[in-house]
A and B are shown apart, each in its own frame.
Chain A
Amino acid sequence: MTTSGSGASVEADAPVVLVTGASSGIGRATAIRFGRAGYRVAVNYARDTSAADEVAALVEGRAYRADVADRYAVATMVSAVEAELGPIAVAVCNAGFYEERRLEDVDDSLWDRSLRVMLGGCFHVSRTVVPRMRSRGGGSIVTIASELALIGGVEIAHYVAAKAAILGLTRSLARELAPTIRVNAVAPGAVDTPLLPDRDRGPGYTDTLPLRRIGRADEVADVVFDLAHSAWTTGAVWQIDGGAAIQ
């Protein structure tokens, strides 16, 4: 289930980060950000092996194929990561997908898949890494929510519900796992990734944003990295959205 990068210049005792959904977009940028800081990076992905291998090579990490909706696959992956790279210091629960559909057309398959991948990805990773982090006396979990979890959206109820549920999970785990493990969320707005609808790239949308442009994945990755290391922060939701959800 793994493919290897060279690993040549990453220190053997470097901390390990697991990033889910890391073959593209915010996950990819996050993997690169941690790699640049000297982390050993576990690049989780669901389908696109060549894209994940490319990210793994860039960061001298390893790619791990696992559907985060499948708790058994997550458990197997986490065991493999810790055996091959070392103890996971930071887990970034990022895997997700975005597909607009009006309420009456959100069938049970799309609804369940949304909850299982996005909320379930966070739950399955957390329940697996938490006992390991606790036994080592520390750790940091960052979940990727969305601006839409804070302000809603049209024809995207399944996504909004899953992302909002991630906030409830994040805040609960922050309370439950303190002071040993910190758990925080990032709520990105419209970011230039493959998930972003073309509609949101044009001036019809960007002119409504206080900062007048969509974001870059590396800008979000910087926030994820800083939040993961912000030692006096837990249960927080850091917004990075060009001002879309000022509240």
Chain B
Amino acid sequence: MSERPVALVTGAAGGLGRAIVAALSEAGWTVAAATHRGSDLAGDLAEPMAPASLVGRVLDRHRRLDLLVPNHAAMTMAAVDEHDPDDWWRIVDTNLSGSFRLARAAVPALRAKAGSIVFISSEWGLIGWPRASAYAASKAGLIGLTKALARELAPTVRVNAVAPGVIDTAQLAVDAADLGVSEAEIRARYAAEAPLGRIADATEIAASVVFLASPGGAYYTGQVLSPNGGTTLVP
């Protein structure tokens, strides 16, 4: 069994995922970094069997699990009545159902180590966003899941969420393409919406994940941290 605590981070090839893996490693965690494809922990987490398979592979390798960070996500943007309904559901099934199935599979191991879960939600899960109804629904659902599992798994396993604002990652290309503007333009627009006048660096979001998982976060459960530059000031 690994001496160091073990974290499973999904979506580890993306901008935020890489930053979370790096920050947890820096903080002393052994990190199992799962990706959609191209790694030895690859899988499509929209597939119903994939999350349990992934958790099983991590436990085979490390013999323990202390932290689950379901960070993988799919997003496309379209008007609700123009969004291909199969694609709409693929987004919900990837982001919300995939995260749920990861949690369900990981809970016995997390209980054994009094570990925790940090779901990755989104500012858009809190306040909604036009042409992003599937993504926002999936991310809002994760906030509900956070609160439900925080109550159900207490006092052994803590469950929290991080709901980031706009992050400077390759994902911005989706937003830019949807609005038909350049990535520089979309960066400037989002920056102007934040009281802090800029979008986030992924390391600034990863820091919230590390905090919630760390001893300093030990009295947090069922909470949503919202590093977003002040864009949303909601309960």
State the A residues within 8 Å of B (CB). 71, 102-104, 106, 108, 111-112, 115, 119-120, 123-124, 126-128, 130-131, 148-158, 160-177, 235, 247
Residues of A within 8 Å of B83, CB to CB, are 127
Closest 5 CB pairs of A and B: A164-B144, A168-B140, A171-B128, A152-B147, A165-B141
Please, could you name 14 A-B residue pairs with CB atoms under 8 Å apart, sorted by A? A103-B152, A106-B100, A119-B92, A127-B80, A127-B81, A131-B81, A152-B222, A160-B145, A161-B142, A161-B148, A168-B133, A168-B138, A172-B80, A172-B128
State the B residues within 8 Å of A (CB). 48, 79-81, 83, 85, 88-89, 92, 96-97, 100-101, 103-104, 107-108, 124-125, 127-133, 136-153, 222, 235
Q: Knowing A102-B152, A103-B103, A112-B97, say if A164 contacts B129 (CB, 8 Å).
A: no
Q: Which of B88, B96, B129, B143 contacts A123 (CB 8 A)?
A: B88
Residues of A within 8 Å of B140, CB to CB, are 164-169, 171
Asked whether A127 lies within 8 Å of B85 as measured between CB atoms, the reply is yes
Q: Which of A106, A150, A172, A247 contacts B124 (CB 8 A)?
A: A172
Asked whether B151 lies within 8 Å of A164 as measured between CB atoms, the reply is no
Residues of B within 8 Å of A175, CB to CB, are 128-130
Residues of B within 8 Å of A174, CB to CB, are 128
Q: Which of A104, A152, A169 contacts B133 (CB 8 A)?
A: A169
**A-B CB pair tally, cutoff 8 Å:** 145
**Chain A nearest Cβ from B176, distance in angstroms:** 18
Asked whether B145 lies within 8 Å of A157 as measured between CB atoms, the reply is yes
How far is A160 from B149 in the complex, measured between Cα atoms in Å? 10
Asked whether B132 lies within 8 Å of A172 as measured between CB atoms, the reply is yes
**Chain B nearest Cβ from A96, distance in angstroms:** 14
How far is A112 from B98 in the complex, measured between Cα atoms in Å? 11
Residues of A within 8 Å of B103, CB to CB, are 103
Q: Which of B79, B97, B150, B152 contacts A111 (CB 8 A)?
A: B97
Asked whether B235 lies within 8 Å of A247 as measured between CB atoms, the reply is yes
Residues of B within 8 Å of A166, CB to CB, are 137, 140
How far is A120 from B136 in the complex, measured between Cα atoms in Å? 14
Residues of A within 8 Å of B147, CB to CB, are 150-152, 160, 164
Asked whether B128 lies within 8 Å of A165 as measured between CB atoms, the reply is no
How far is A119 from B89 in the complex, measured between Cα atoms in Å? 10
Asked whether A176 lies within 8 Å of B152 as measured between CB atoms, the reply is no
Residues of A within 8 Å of B235, CB to CB, are 247
**Chain A nearest Cβ from B82, distance in angstroms:** 9
Residues of A within 8 Å of B131, CB to CB, are 176
- Give the residue among A103, A120, A165 with the most B Cβ atoms within 10 A: A165
**Chain A nearest Cβ from B63, distance in angstroms:** 21
**Chain A nearest Cβ from B73, distance in angstroms:** 13
Q: Which of A104, A163, A165, A247 contacts B107 (CB 8 A)?
A: A104
Q: Which of B107, B127, B151 contacts A152 (CB 8 A)?
A: B151
Asked whether A103 lies within 8 Å of B104 as measured between CB atoms, the reply is yes
How far is A152 from B130 in the complex, measured between Cα atoms in Å? 26
Asked whether B104 lies within 8 Å of A106 as measured between CB atoms, the reply is yes
How far is A127 from B82 in the complex, measured between Cα atoms in Å? 8
How far is A156 from B152 in the complex, measured between Cα atoms in Å? 9
Asked whether A153 lies within 8 Å of B100 as measured between CB atoms, the reply is no
